Amino acid sequence: MNTKKRIDLHNHTTLCNHATGTTEEYIQRAIELKIDVFGFSEHAPMNFDEKYRLKLKDKELYENDILSLKEKYKNDIEILLGYEVDYLKGDYILPEVINSKVDYLIGSVHFINDGWGFDNPEFIGQYKNKDINTIWEDYFEAITNMIKCGKFDIVGHLDLIKVFKFLPTKDIKTIAHTTLKEIKKSNMVVEINSAGYRKPIGEQYPSKELLELCYELNIPITFSSDAHSIDQVGLNYEKASSLAKEIGYKKCTYFQQRDKIETSF
């Protein structure tokens, strides 16, 4: 059977202190939108920027909440449990997170150059301190290292560094070339993340040109809204999925206990 599925694997909860709405409200909204597979991927616990992520002491609470919703709504929607894990220089990634019994782990870079939160409007001033090409190269180097560490299933918002529309003068495909080859080698999946439509850049992550490169390299994709509120659940999915189709993608991927499942979309 080749049924089409609507997938949304990257969503947050109030346990990270920068999201609103209950997990059950997210699920009800997802059902309303006819999403078939909906995954939570809370910002994983880490001894860095702790205020804006799940606390280690709440890890079980988070997991039990999602698992009980999974059971409660099993006839309406497939709910998945995951984490979005920050990759940054230093020994921050917790074995408790990496060894969790989850469906998938998203690897993301939100900090470069020794802890600069480059996607946070609060620290936007720091773009002035460094050459924009170097910033982009540093970012993609961090993504490459994240991929090489081999701990993750999904590349989170591949070109998040474009968030404020500070674009390099060098060719982006050249900057990202090594990263894309590394994704291919790793067998990881790239998410088409719709949060970018809500940001100054005004488009999905990754850009069309990078997505075309992913397609050429046969890199699988998944879909995510990166919702931090109920109204963001599934937002702009149509734009993201029609772009993927336009590029040539016919399948997308989700995970069950770290195993890949392919489906039409």
Q: Toward Zn ion, which CB reaches closer, 108 or 207? A: 108
In whole angstroms, what is the distance from residue 118 CA to residue 39 CA? 26
The single-letter code of the amino acid at 26 is Y
Q: Is 224 in the site for Zn ion (CB under 5 A)?
A: no
Q: How far is the CB of 18 from Zn ion (least distance, A)?
A: 5
Residue 109 CB, nearest approach to Zn ion (Å): 9
| Cβ 216 to Zn ion shortest distance, Å | 26
In the bound state with Zn ion, the residue whose beta carbon lies nearer, of 5 and 199, is 199
3-state SS string for 122-173? HHHHHHHHCCHHHHHHHHHHHHHHHHHCCCCCEECCCCHHHCCCCCCCCCHH
Question: At closest approach, how far in Å is the CB of 39 from Zn ion?
Answer: 14
Return the number of the residue (108 or 236) whose C-beta is nearest Zn ion.
Answer: 108
Residue 108 sits in the site that holds Zn ion (CB under 5 A): yes
Enter the DSSP assignment of 204.
P
Choice between 108 and 225, CB closer to Zn ion: 108
Which span (30-38, 103-111, 182-190, 239-247) binds Zn ion, by CB under 5 A? 103-111
**Part of the chain binding Zn ion (CB under 5 A), chosen from 101-109, 197-205, 215-223, 239-247:** 101-109
Q: What share of the chain is helix, strand, coil (3-state, %, to 5)?
A: 40, 20, 40
Distance CA 110, CA 176 (A): 17
- For β-strands 37-43 and 78-86, DSSP reports them as parallel
Listed in sequence order, the residues at least 6 apart from 238 whose beta carbon sits closer than 8 Å to its beta carbon are none
Specify the residue, 232 or 253, whose C-beta has the smaller distance to Zn ion.
Answer: 232
Task: By CB under 5 A, tell whether 186 contacts Zn ion.
Answer: no
Q: How far is the CB of 191 from Zn ion (least distance, A)?
A: 10
Using DSSP's 3-state secondary structure scheme, residue 192 falls into strand
Residues engaged in binding Zn ion (CB under 5 A): 108
